[in-house]
Amino acid sequence: MTEPLKTQPLKTEPWSPFSYIVTNLARFVEPGDVAFSGVNSSMAMLACLLAKRAYDFPFTYINVAGGVDPEPRYAPLSSSDPELARESASIFANEDFYDLCARGRMDLCFLGAAQIDAQGRTNVSVIGDWHEPKVRLPGGGGAAVMLPTARRSCTWRTEHSTRTLVDRLDFITGGGGMYGVVTPIAVLVKRDGRLRLDSWHPDVTVDEVVDRTGFELDTSGAAPTRPPTEAERAALASLDPDGTFERDAKIRG
């Protein structure tokens, strides 16, 4: 493997881990997508709202509050808040969006995860043995059904470590596998059935990303992540004007 590129000093302001995650999640949205954000998913909600504000292509944003291309006045702390259905012309409720996903019509589904393995499978159920839990996590939720049925699923972790990106999951909640994963320091994308390094935060090295990943990581073809555009920065600033989401997320790079 070639020596990783030396970090280029950025001319722009530093790219916070919070902004890095939200912005790179938003970049998974493609023109024409039906994209979904669910409960307990502030980062995904912000990413979808950011994509709506920063990108000039059309896509459909649906969410767990029943909203279809809503126009919330602000980003609510709860990612299932009724504010996310404001100005929506329909209510596309829980059974509707699950059925949509089940029949293969959900293009992009954002789902939370505690542990992720090399195939992009996830554990959101338990740390330790399921029957002797060290930590009981939120549970099956969307993952077990949406991960295998959505066209593309993406997730985020606020910690990039061998505890979160693991060689072996404590429990397989969701099979099928993530298409994309964003951490505070890297973007992973699935190719030929495995997550590979797609790009890395300009402030870290490829070696650091590899060291902090619990499974073997192919880095060929990866490049430093493109810095945020003015439109992306402005959109995120408008969604988190007083920095509440960034503070509550408590992310270290």
Q: Give, in degrees to the nearest 5, the angle at Cα 62 between 60 and 65.
A: 155
Q: How far is the CB of 54 from other proteins (least distance, A)?
A: 23
Span 82-141, contacts to other proteins by CB under 8 A: 82, 85, 91, 93-95, 98, 101-103, 121, 124-125, 130, 133-141
> How many residues make contact with other proteins (CB under 8 A)?
50
Q: How far is the CB of 242 from other proteins (least distance, A)?
A: 14
Residue 141 or residue 184: which is nearer to other proteins going by CB?
141
Interaction between residue 210 and other proteins (CB under 8 A): no
Interaction between residue 73 and other proteins (CB under 8 A): no
Between strands 152-156 and 223-224, the pairing is unpaired
Residue 81 or residue 198: which is nearer to other proteins going by CB?
81
Asked if 231 contacts 182 with a C-beta cutoff of 8 angstroms, the reply is no
Helix (H) or strand (E) holding 136: strand 132-136
Token digits of residue 177: 């596998």
Q: How far is the CB of 46 from other proteins (least distance, A)?
A: 12
What type of residue is 214? G
Between strands 108-110 and 34-37, the pairing is parallel
Cα 157 from Cα 46, distance rounded (Å): 15
Site string for other proteins, 4-43 (x = CB under 8 A): -----------------------------------xx-x-
Cα 123 from Cα 233, distance rounded (Å): 32
Token digits of residue 245: 């989401």
Token digits of residue 165: 């990106």
Interaction between residue 61 and other proteins (CB under 8 A): no
Residue 141 or residue 180: which is nearer to other proteins going by CB?
141
- End-to-end Cα separation, the chain, in angstroms: 25
CA 237 to chain centre: 18
Interaction between residue 80 and other proteins (CB under 8 A): yes
Asked if 122 contacts 170 with a C-beta cutoff of 8 angstroms, the reply is no
Span 136-155, contacts to other proteins by CB under 8 A: 136-149
Of the candidate residues 18, 44, 81, 107, the single one contacting other proteins (CB under 8 A): 81
Helix (H) or strand (E) holding 53: helix 42-54
Interaction between residue 175 and other proteins (CB under 8 A): yes
Q: How far is the CB of 3 from other proteins (least distance, A)?
A: 38
The label of the residue with tokens 């430093």 reads 224
- Contact positions toward other proteins, by CB under 8 A? 39-40, 42, 64-66, 77-82, 85, 91, 93-95, 98, 101-103, 121, 124-125, 130, 133-149, 171-176, 245, 248
